[in-house]
Structure 1
């Protein structure tokens, strides 16, 4: 009368199964060397986020704001 739900089945294989470890152990050394060389190449380049202000600029703005607040408080009191 009503359709019964079936359990979902997946073809899951763990990442660290014993079958995969024997195959991947041969390729680990080559992958590691490629990763290290790419890391060393990109290590020197700095990527700056768009629209982000440097910490020095933010501290200067904060100091100026505090000075202005102090001056205005002394002027009107």
Structure 2
């Protein structure tokens, strides 16, 4: 009554097969070292991790929230 769907099949050939890895492993060692050194030189010392918002902004939002809560409480009570 109900037809079952069949799984699709693909002719997938991996980019990094075992055959290609053996040939290119000799060349990759020097290439990856060059790439890593170039990457580190380009980035420099830009490893500062910053939060989404500064502490001043969070305190300001908290104060505004408290003021709004106070005003709404006085208005409805």
Normalising by the residue count of structure 2, what TM-score does the alignment of the two structures yield? 0.51
Shift of 1:14: 2.0
Give the gaps of 5 or more residues in structure 1.
1-8, 47-53
Give the gaps of 5 or more residues in structure 2.
1-9
Q: Which residue of 1 aligns with 2:29?
A: 29
Normalising by the residue count of structure 1, what TM-score does the alignment of the two structures yield? 0.51
CA RMSD for the aligned pairs?
A: 2.9
Shift of 1:61: 4.0
Deviant stretches of 4+, over 6 Å: none
Shift of 1:37: 0.9
Matches within 5 A, 1:1-77: 13-41=13-41, 42-45=43-46, 54-56=52-54, 58-76=57-75, 77=77
Q: How many residues align?
A: 61
